[in-house]
Structure 1
Amino acid sequence: MRRDDLVIALTYYAPYVSGLTNMARDIAEGLAARGKRVTVVTSRYDTSLPREEEINGVRVLRAPVLARLGRGVISPQFVRLARAAMGRAAVGSLQLPMLEAGAIAAGMRTPIVSTYHCDVTLPPGLVNTAQRLVVDASNRLAMSRSAVVTVTSEDYARNSRMWPSIEPSMVVVPPPCSPPPTGEPSYRETDGLHVGFLGRIVREKGLEYLVRGFRALPDPDARLLIGGDFTHVAGGSVVDQVREAIGDDHRIRLMGFVPEQRIGDFYASLDVFTLPSVNAFEAFGIVQAVAMLAGVPVLSSDIPGVRQPVAQTGFGTVVPPGDAAAITRALRAFQANPPDRASGAAQAHRAFSVSAVLDGYEVLIDKAAHHLRSTR
């Protein structure tokens, strides 16, 4: 019977793409490369995916999905599979928010390290409110059963409605951020300002405000490149609203999913990367740190957690969320006074080291395992 050093449970895992899943993937694969035995338990959100496989040294187990509920899935076997795998592991890891977290953690003797990424935010409505309350209660239970609760920034955690549950055992560990491969500016069309976004095309990203802010630029050679999936998005995409905001502006490109092998080319084509989030759904925004590592300055929203990469490096600027006019002013400032890209990239490398993050997680795993031994 296999005994793992770490079992990570989360609803979505690779090849699904989001900041949360990418962070879990990088930690799992990074620790596996260091000789740890790592298993990921997740949902089989796409029936074309195998029930079990190995990805870059990480064993991945997928539970079948019966139905979908908003961004989440209904998978009764997921809880059983996660509990069974964690029961044979030295340490378990829960990636929150997750509806099933409390059921997985309840009565579990294996020590747990929970990572709280962000609060659940849903549109108004009785069903959504009930769903949020249930998920919050489940996450509180999971954190109360955890030896350690990690967050990507204290700034976000202190502004989270879950702060009372996070604070008692909080440890701040930034997400591991690897620089993208060196690329060619093959997406660049002119010598004008090239502004970019890369991520899921969803409401909380605030893309309509970015489009309106960009459209106020008079430069005919400026370009806005919007990369990201809008066909397989948990909870649904807002691509129609973004298209409506774009209108007949020929300078804006809605590019769809950018494949991994073209990510370096995408960043190499940009003068400014943007993360115009409109609420505190995300606690850090790894994609903006990756842009900085590629030498691209960032325009992001002044939201707890999201503002941290710019605050830590000074490589960019923040604007009020949902303020198209402020986005326009910031883009004009980038045009007039481009930041020093080499200096900014160096700052980002000092702030977001993959090896340092993996060192921190190894310490947490050892601490959690010691926590169990000390309570026996």
Structure 2
Amino acid sequence: MKTIVVSAVTLRKGGTLTILRQCLNYLSELAVHGDYRIVALVHRKELVFYPNVEYMEMPDMIQGWGKRLWCEYVTMRRISRQLAPVYLWLSMHDTTPNVQAERQAVYCQTSFPFLKGKWQDLIFDYKIVLFTLFTRFAYRINIHRNRYLIVQAEWLRKGFSKMFGLPKELFIVATPERMEKETIIKDNQQSHIYNFLFAATPDCHKNFETLCRATALLERELGVGKFKVILTISGNENRYARWLYRHWGHLKSIEFAGFMSREQLYLNYASAHCLVFPSRVETWGLPISEFAAFGKPMLLADLPYAHETAAGSRQTAFFNPQSSDTLKMQMKRLIERDFSFLKEIPPSGSCRTCHKHMERIIRSVITINLRMKKENPSILQLGKFYPIKGGVEKVAYDLMTGLSTNKIHCDMLCATVAGKGKTIRLNSYARLMECHSWGKAAATMIAPSMITVLRKVCPSYDIVHVHHPDPMAALALALSGYKGKVVLHWHSDIQKQKYLLRLYRPLQDWLLRRADLIVGTSPVYLDESPFLKNVQQKTVCLPIGVPPILSEPEAVDKIRQQYGGKKIVFSLGRLVAYKGFTHLVEAARFLKDDYVVLIGGTGVLEQALSQQIKRLGLENKVVLLGRIPDKDLPAYFGACKVFCLPSVQKTEAFGIVQIEAMSCGKPVVATRIPQSGVSWVNKHGVSGLNVMPGNAGELARAIQDIADNESVYDKYSMAAKNRYWDIFTNEHMIDKCKRIYNNLWEG
């Protein structure tokens, strides 16, 4: 039996109570069959009593925002533990509670997070200002946990998506029912005086003052008796209403009609010539859709809600809600029977999930959560840093962009190298979430905010793909409480920080146990890593893939001419010990004079390498290029005769630069590092040659064996390019990764 919990303690009256009743009525029917246990957290159960539903009354929750926050984020969590396991927790009142549930959904009713306040709001109703701030804060808490978010309008879907960085596909748009034509009240006794109607409650965000000011200007210009403005307030309801009446109650052209019943309101719809609606924010603006059914003119605030609600109307114009002058001019033209400025608003297109009746929407939410299976899982790449500086973060980034191009939701959470954390929206299916870091220690970014961010967002993902080695990412995952599938990408063993490994080892062992699947970049590394000996049953090889390197012939020729047409040996990487560049410099001593070695990159050994070059008298044979801009790299790959990767430690687990060179048809000279995948990537005797690490003489001989014989060179060149296209393209990596995810998700 699956447990569904509906939390709706604040829903006590009006349309929201109707929605709750529709929801529980459906769930009551669903529970009859015995497959589901339905629990409703409500204010009073007599408001919404249905059979087959367990009720928990919480009348104290509405007594202040402090109690509500405590209830949402403390009491609700305790209740969820008592009811565990909870299959679906549906929150009907905007906020996302801190609960333990397999999946969550929230119904976002209010539009106040988008209200642009004015200083007068503090005077008329300070609670509206506080409520606006409260909703912006409360909405943000845990919102990424939701599998779906229900809103009443498309503009809210776009707004919340932008505000919180959520994919638009997570939203279900539930538009209110539009008035059917047969329900329209006919009234043929319209007054010869042109009547404007504004139907709204006396709240300061309704912006009555813009209409009142426009009326004052118009009465001054046209006089009394040509038009009338009817307001559905009496002028004594609250401080704001009294202020309005005090300033404009003397105008003969304004009628403070007071509250109207639904029947009275529809009679006024029928008799009025035009609806004016200047409200500064609305979720939907129900009077607009009700009045539109009469087919008469409407003057509406030029805001997203009004444009959407007025879709399909035949005679509509928009005005700046702060401009009384513009509204006055539009009203005057209508009084003079000039309708030329009114436009027909095209009907809005249907969204992904949009229904007419709210009852069907609630049923759809439950049905989607219980029965609907997504086409693809949602993925989070976890680890390392941005901007990209090394192979691990490049793989994570390429997976994110490649999967998102295939319309699979894939985000990346990492530390930022510098500056404050931010979220970058790459496309509709991918976003990059950077977390502020305190700095770097032992090759690890110290970013505690990664822990809190991951705790918030992880419930939104079906699979978390964590990239190792990255102790910060492992710690964040361990403390996140994530219950879904985990893919561990084992890029390399930790080699350099052996003493720190003793401290990290318990967390690393936990990560190996927690992972549902472990992927490695080469079969050699998976087979020979001592840390993976006991988890071989859940390992799979995922070779790294990159887009082909394409160079401009002019740029290639320029580099070759710069070095006098010599045979160029190119190498690229950080100037650190395990990369073995000291041995490549040494190997240059054994190369003929028609060779030149170009080394791109920066690092701690840059000065030491410069001194070595001078000491050996190789200034004309070895050049340290420093950091090569990304735009210039293709030219160096294209200009070289041979690419060399002289690494000496298994920290070099794969060597992405090898496959970049292969994509250009460049033979590779690399090293046979024990327990490393480098020599697997560069297949000996096929795409190039592999020699013993640290042996400068063998490096030089291998380079010359390939480059000095054109027929041999052509064989290696063709084979290198074929090996790239057969195994190491970006498309191969993405396609295999998709299969891995789907097999894990469906299994």
Mapped contact 1:102–1:141 kept (Cα < 8 A): no
Counterpart selection for 2:729 from 340, 353, 359: 353
Distance in 1 between residues matched to 2:630 and 2:382, nearest whole Å = 24
Q: Does 1:147 align with 2:516?
A: yes
Q: Is 1:300 the counterpart of 2:300 in the alignment? A: no
CA contact (8 A) 1:174 1:352 kept: yes
Q: In the alignment, what sits opposite 2:308?
A: none
1:95 — aligned with what? 467
Residues paired across the two proteins, number: 357
Establish whether residue 10 from structure 1 lines up as the match of residue 388 from structure 2. Answer: no
Contact 2:567 2:596 in 1 (8 A): yes
1:332–1:130 Cα change, 3 Å = same
Give the alignment's Cα RMSD to 1 decimal: 2.0
Alignment TM-score, normalising by the size of structure 2: 0.46
CA distance in 1, matches of 2:686, 2:627: 29
TM-score normalised per structure 1? 0.89
* Corresponding residue of 1:82: 454
1:336 is displaced (CA, Å) by 2.4
Structure-2 change in CA distance of 1:137 and 1:273 (3 Å): farther
Gaps of 5+ in 2: 1-143, 145-165, 171-376
Q: Give the Cα–Cα distance (whole angstroms) in 2 for the partners of residues 293 and 359 of structure 1.
A: 19
Matched, 1:60 2:432: yes
Unaligned runs of 5+ in 1: 123-127, 231-236, 372-376
Deviation at 1:50, TM superposition (A): 5.2
Deviation at 1:274, TM superposition (A): 0.9
In structure 2, C-alpha distance between the alignment counterparts of 1:50 and 1:266, rounded to whole Å: 34
2:488 matched to 1:114? yes
1:143 Cα shift? 2.1
Distance 1:336 1:262 in 2: 27
Which residue number corresponds to residue 329 of structure 1? 701
Rounded Cα–Cα distance in structure 2 between residues aligned with 1:290 and 1:62: 27
* Counterpart residue number, 1:273: 643
**What amino acid sits opposite 1:322 in the alignment?**
G
| 1:133 CA drift (Å) | 2.3
Amino acid at match of 2:486: I
1:14-60 CA deviation, whole Å, 9 max, x = no partner?
x222111211111111001011122111112212x752213466311
Quote how far apart the aligned CAs of 1:311 are. 1.8
Indicate the SS of the match to 1:368. helix
Measure, in 2, the Cα distance between the counterparts of 1:135 and 1:307: 29
Q: Report the residue type matching 1:53 in the other structure.
A: I
Secondary structure, counterpart of 1:100 in structure 2: helix
Q: Distance in 2 between the 1:54 and 1:349 partners?
A: 31
1:229 aligns with 2:583: no
CA distance in 1, matches of 2:605, 2:510: 33
1:180 is aligned to 549
Question: Whole-Å Cα distance in 2 between the matches of residues 246 and 46 of structure 1?
Answer: 34
Q: Give the aligned partner of residue 207 of structure 1.
A: 581
Asked which structure has the greater RCO (Cα within 8 Å, sep 6+), the reply is 1
Q: 1:285 and 1:135 mapped to 2: Cα distance?
A: 25
Relative distance call for 1:26 and 1:360 in structure 2 (3 A) is same
- Which one has the largest radius of gyration? 2
User: Partners of 1:119 and 1:139 in 2: how far apart?
Assistant: 10
**Cα distance in 1 for residues equivalent to 2:631 and 2:534:** 40
Residue-by-residue CA offset, 1:284-338 (whole Å, 9 max, x unaligned): 1111011011111000010220101222881110011111111121122123224
| One-letter code aligned to 2:509 | R
Contact 1:180 1:264 in 2 (8 A): yes
Bigger helix fraction: 2
Report the residue type matching 1:64 in the other structure. H
Distance between the aligned counterparts of 1:80 and 1:260, measured in 2?
A: 34
> Residue type of the partner of 2:489?
T
Q: Do the aligned partners of residues 331 and 36 (structure 1) sit closer, same or farther apart at CA in structure 2, a change above 3 Å counting?
A: same
Q: Matched residues in 2 for 1:262 and 1:269: separation?
A: 11
CA distance in 2, matches of 1:81, 1:162: 29
In 1, the alpha carbon distance for the partners of 2:601 and 2:623 equals 11
Q: What residue identity is the alignment partner of 2:611?
A: E
What displacement does 1:207 show?
0.4
**3-state DSSP of counterpart to 2:432:** strand
Residue 384 of structure 2 aligns with an amino acid whose one-letter code is T
The alignment partner of 2:651 has SS state of coil
Corresponding residue SS for 2:384: coil
Does the CA-based 8 Å contact 1:96-1:139 persist in structure 2?
no
Tell me by how many angstroms 1:368 deviates: 2.7
Q: SS of 1:12's equivalent?
A: strand
Identity %: 23
Task: Please state if 1:365 is matched with 2:747.
Answer: no
**For structure 1, which segment, 357-366 or 77-86, has the greater mean C-alpha deviation from structure 2 after superposition?**
77-86
Q: Distance in 2 between matches of 1:151 and 1:314?
A: 23
User: Are the counterparts in 2 of residues 196 and 225 from structure 1 also a CA contact under 8 Å?
Assistant: yes
